[in-house]
Amino acid sequence: MKAFCYGVDIGGTFIKVGLFNDQGDLQSKWQFKTRKTKDDLKIIKDVADFIIQKNKELDITMEDVLGIGVGIPGAVLDNGEVLQMHNLGTGYFNLVEELHKLTGCMVKAANDANLAALGEFSSRKAKGYKSMVLVTLGTGVGGGIIINGSILTGGKGAAGEIGHILVNSDEREVCGCGKKGCLEQYASATGIVRMASRRLQESSEASILRTIKELTAKDVLDSAKAGDALAMEVVTKASEYLGIGLSHVAQTVNPEVFVIGGGVSKAGPILTDMVEEFFKQYVMDDVKDTIFELAVLGNDAGIYGGANLILNAK
Amino acid sequence: MKAFCYGVDIGGTFIKVGLFNDQGDLQSKWQFKTRKTKDDLKIIKDVADFIIQKNKELDITMEDVLGIGVGIPGAVLDNGEVLQMHNLGTGYFNLVEELHKLTGCMVKAANDANLAALGEFSSRKAKGYKSMVLVTLGTGVGGGIIINGSILTGGKGAAGEIGHILVNSDEREVCGCGKKGCLEQYASATGIVRMASRRLQESSEASILRTIKELTAKDVLDSAKAGDALAMEVVTKASEYLGIGLSHVAQTVNPEVFVIGGGVSKAGPILTDMVEEFFKQYVMDDVKDTIFELAVLGNDAGIYGGANLILNAK
């Protein structure tokens, strides 16, 4: 009886693996270091070996495994073709085919941000949503879009790249993507620190932030909560740009719910309430009652998404 | 043998009806005036009566009809619930149920802009696209999004409302939707005239446009093509805002192709080439090679979409 599936989240530093039952409940999870190599196939081999070993330890045969759902930090087409692997191998290979060869299992693959979105979506089954957008405010700003319960991949696997939506035509500094004025330059942890540092340099306004040596986004958010005016100004600006960026997303796909995750979202209501307020200013009436929720799965969203990629394909 | 389907496009002035064979080829088309009433059900009855009459004339029985696909100027959910009918009746009724009662046929319904998108998408079957965004530059700016061959409806039927994406935070005038700085305020026929009039008022720059009494978008576009500097400035600005708006759409859904339609698009390459150039400046590399094409079905896009809504549901 096929009663299990694996969710795998391949990151630049760690590979996370979760074993799930056929109801999508997590049974066990592990992680191991991502091998430093330019050869993507070696990474895929590591994943296969790890799963084969775990099966052995847990007395599970490959026949008991419905499939393996894998997330990677890059663009993946619906057929499993990987177009690139950021910060990892050389890109371009068919992950689905390769991992299937090594395991004999059904394999499904997706971009890691999209997979995390599917994970968060699946955890909300009871709410009956059909569409959702996950926004991850971490080092960068990631996004994943779920439509009718499935990941929206896009023509080149680039759907949901909302961190690189233009939100400020006047920006002078260049984003990691080569453009200027991307959402990621303001609403990511890096963006918040960047804005705060710039603000501190450009003014002589008093601020707790001036006493902090290596400023982090958490410092800025905590200081804003503590009533620091300059920090509050930065957080308000980040929230406004995020509200604008999400207004563009909502006018385009009109999701039922936005789920906000990532390290920056841990600041809680101070940020999300403001984002929602700004959002309402920039969307049509029909779209104003889009729901905002905080992410619930943290770093496990990817492995949950992987499992659900398999369970949805049953 | 069921060999026909009807596509119906309900507009504020006319109702267009097309009879198609089961390959989606148009056999005949007609239009009749939309009844001025606040009672939506009377409009639906007119549609049913018209189709029953046409069947009689053409010696088609209802058994030969696969279904009726209907577009309306308002938000429709996937189950046929109409949330509103702009410029028509009172809204809120189930179009699918009501028209089915009157005809006995399968009925499918969609927003008119979304249906036009499905029509344009279907006319490109040979190209093998899976995703497409139609942008209609008419009195307003409309949009429709096709993902995996189906209309993207959105949680409240408001997906693809790209005319009301914010593109200019500095706008002082209010858009029809109540917000300020919407794409529609610049890239629609009305928007182009508005921008030109404002520019003419604010400067004393010489321009052919000063000699024209009741300025139209066509005047502005023709004057730009003829080398008028002020008109060219207006068209460039419209193109830039459209490029920015479409960059937001592409970063969100990453369609394979944008199809530009509506009266303004008849200006041809002068506008579309500029839009594409601006677009490339505002999107990530992965998204830059999105294809731009002109619409081919004109005012028939809606009825083609209606037929394909039925044929896709077969």
Residue A158 in contact with partner chain B when CB distance is under 8 A: yes
Confidence of residue A91 (pLDDT cuts 50, 70, 90): low
Nearest CA of chain B to the CA of A311: how many Å?
20
Same domain membership, residue A109 and residue A250: no
Q: What is the CATH number of the domain that holds A108?
A: 3.30.420.40
Smallest Cα–Cα separation from A121: which of A154, A91, A151, A89?
A151
pLDDT at A87 over 60: no
Contact yes or no for B179 and A281 at CB 8 A: yes
Residues A155, B255: C-beta atoms closer than 8 Å = yes
What's the pLDDT score for residue A298?
Answer: 94
Low-confidence ranges of chain B (pLDDT < 70): 1, 84-92
The confidence score (pLDDT) of residue B270 equals 86
Nearest to residue B64, comparing CAs of B95, B94, B99, B19? B19
Same domain (yes/no): A288, A304: no
Q: Which of A188, A183, A122 lies closest to A151, judged by CA? A: A122
Taking CA atoms, B177 is separated from A13, A201, B90, B173, in Å, by 47, 40, 18, 11
B148 plus B288 within the same structural domain: yes
Interchain contact, A164 vs B251, CB within 8 Å: yes
Contacts with B, A 206-225, CB within 8 Å: none
pLDDT attached to residue B271? 87
Residues B87 and B150 placed together within one structural domain of the fold: no
Least confident of A187-201, A209-223, B31-45, B188-202: B31-45
**In terms of domains, do A134 and A278 share one?**
yes
Q: What is the pLDDT of residue A86?
A: 61
Which pLDDT value is given to residue A289?
A: 94
- B88 and B226, same domain (yes or no): no
Residues 6+ apart with CB under 8 A from A170: A181
Q: How many domains does chain A have?
A: 2
Size of interface A-B (CB pairs under 8 A): 134
DSSP string, B66-135: EEEEEEESS-B-TTSEE---TTSS---EEHHHHHHHHH-S-EEEEEHHHHHHHHHHHTTGGGT-S-EEEE
Q: Give the Cα separation of A95 and A107 in Å (integer).
A: 8
Q: What is the pLDDT of residue A89?
A: 62
Q: Are residues B58 and B164 in the same domain?
A: no
- Rounded Cα distance, A35 and B100, in Å: 60
Same domain, yes or no: A10 and A119? yes
Predicted local confidence at residue B87, as pLDDT:
56
A164 near B CB under 8 A:
yes
| Nearest residue, CB atoms, B254 vs list A155, A284, A285 | A155
Tell whether A152 and A82 lie within a shared domain. Answer: no
CA distance A109 to chain B (A): 18
What's the pLDDT score for residue B92? 67
What ipTM score was computed for the predicted complex, to two decimals? Answer: 0.93
- Asked if the Cβ–Cβ distance from B165 to A248 is below 8 Å, we say yes
**CA nearest A109: which of A100, A146, A155?**
A100
- A173 in contact with chain B, both atoms CB, cutoff 8 A: no
Query: Do B180 and B281 share a domain, yes or no?
Result: yes
Structural domain including A221 reads: 128-295
pTM of the model: 0.94
Separation CA A257–CA A250 (nearest Å): 9
> Does B240 lie in the same domain as B194?
yes
Say if residue A89 is in the same domain as residue A57: yes
Any CB–CB contact under 8 A between B253 and chain A? Answer: yes
- Which of the 8 DSSP states describes residue A298? G
- List beta partners, residue B14: B33
In angstroms, the separation between the Cα of residue B28 and the nearest Cα of chain A is 34
Residues of B whose CB is below 8 A from A178: 285
